[in-house]
Structure formats: C-alpha cells, structure tokens
Amino acid sequence: MKYDALIPVIRKLAIEAGAKIMEIYNADDFDVKVKSDDSPVTAADEAADALISAGLRAAFPEMMLVTEEQSASHGLTGDTFLIVDPLDGTKEFINRRGDFTVNIALVEGGVPTRGVVYAPAKERMFFTLADGTSVEETGPFDAAAMGEVSPIRVAESDNDALMVVASKSHRDQATDDYINKYSVKDSKSAGSSLKFCLVATGEADLYPRVGRTMEWDTAAGHAVLLGAGGKVVRFDDHTPLTYGKEGYANPFFIAYAANVTLKEA
C-alpha cells in the first residue's frame, strides 16, 4: 500500500460520506431499523457505507475490505486490510447529539497504521499523513483539496491531575470504578471514535473502554492516536490491542497518552 496514494482517497471519501450523513441528519425525520445484533442502523449508515465501499474498491481493488454494514465481510480473515465504520455513534446520530464520526483505516500486520476520523456535525477532522504522523484539518472541508492542517500530539500528562474521557452512551459502574483508581482533575463524555482523537490532541489523557466494541469502531481512532504518540492496550494485560481477530470483536481496552502510568484492572 502506497500511503501517499491512500491518504487523499480516504480523506476525500470521509468528507463525501459526511456530507451524505448530514443531509439525512438535518432532515425533519429519518427511519431507524434494528440489525440482528439489536444495534440501530439508519439510511445514513447505509448511504455512507455504499459511497465509501465503492470508492475504496475502485481505488484499491486488491485490498481486503471489512465494513460494519456488510456482514459478508465479517467472515474474511487476514491481518492486513481496510476497515470502515461509515457512521460510528449511530445512537448519537439518532439522538441528534452530534458526536458521530466517519471512520476509515488501514490495518497492516494487525496494527492500524493509517486512518481518518471525520466528525461532520462537530466540523472536526483528524487523520494520519503518509508518514504516519497525525494532524487535524480545519474546515471548511473540501473533498477535492486538503485545507490547513496542524500537527497533533498527546499531552505531557500529569499523573496527579489527569483528564479522562469516557463513552457518552455506554458509561457504566465498571468504567467509573476503573477511573477512580486514578488522580483525576476532570472528566468529560464523548461519543464514537472522537474519544481517541481527544487523547491524540491532548484534550484528554486517558480513555478506558470497559464494554463491547468492534474493530471498525476503533481502528481509525487508534491509528490517529498512534500517530500522535499515544498507545492503545488491552484492559486485562496491557499488551497492544491488535486487529484481524476472529469476528472482529475487541476485548476491553485503554487508550492513553504515552506517559500516563496505567493502573491494573
């Protein structure tokens, strides 16, 4: 995979998918269906998936593609592939809270090495450059031409005064119990893969996830965080979170700035 060819394509597709999503988001009403796993899906998920999948298959026909909305892709196996969540944070979308994202990532050897996270309602976009470093682009966003970008970097965290970010829709007692092991200055809630990006920009130090996620939920944010100097490890043994697992389900994990001293689960 040539990274200088990949990055413009995934950035462009994320912006175009975001425009489709916002058309539906700003409509008076939209239908919500329930998938076999009881998770919600909307026309926005499906439209964004169709656009992104077609674009990736046209640009990179030889590359394995895994996407949330195409269940047939969930049976594919390999450790190098493109992975897509066309609308991460569907519950945030349905409730019109704005914390939803378009996620596209490249996984190589089980590691997410490049990715884009676009939050169209928040007008924030984060992605890795061809060299693997992460940036935030400031809008307005033009699919045809990259705008001004600024390098992002994790915070030089103070372990006596950490900023923690946790899920807006899935926060529970187990999450709070783990957070309480740290010296926390403040905490905030956010939806979707934005939590990885808040750690990547230094707006938060720590994001623990004690709950179910899938690889398409996390890969793009994980890539952005790695490119900003952060880390993502399993909750149980603090080994790196890897990709290409059977069924694409993640264990619990912790995303954090590099000099946060992790507590045991």
User: Would the annotation count 85 as a binding residue?
Assistant: yes
Burial of 263 (0-12, 13-18, 19+ CB in 10 A): middle
User: Would the annotation count 88 as a binding residue?
Assistant: yes
User: Would the annotation count 68 as a binding residue?
Assistant: yes
**Centroid of chain to Cα 172:** 20
| Contact of 239 with 233, CB cutoff 8 Å | yes
- Written as six digits, the tokens of 20 are 């489709």
User: Would the annotation count 90 as a binding residue?
Assistant: yes
Burial of 247 (0-12, 13-18, 19+ CB in 10 A): exposed
Amino acid code (one letter) for 235:
F
User: Would the annotation count 162 as a binding residue?
Assistant: no
Burial of 160 (0-12, 13-18, 19+ CB in 10 A): exposed
Known binding site for Mg(2+): residues? 68, 85, 87-88, 217
Q: Output the known binding site.
A: 68, 85, 87-90, 217
Binding site per annotation, positions for substrate: 68, 87-90, 217
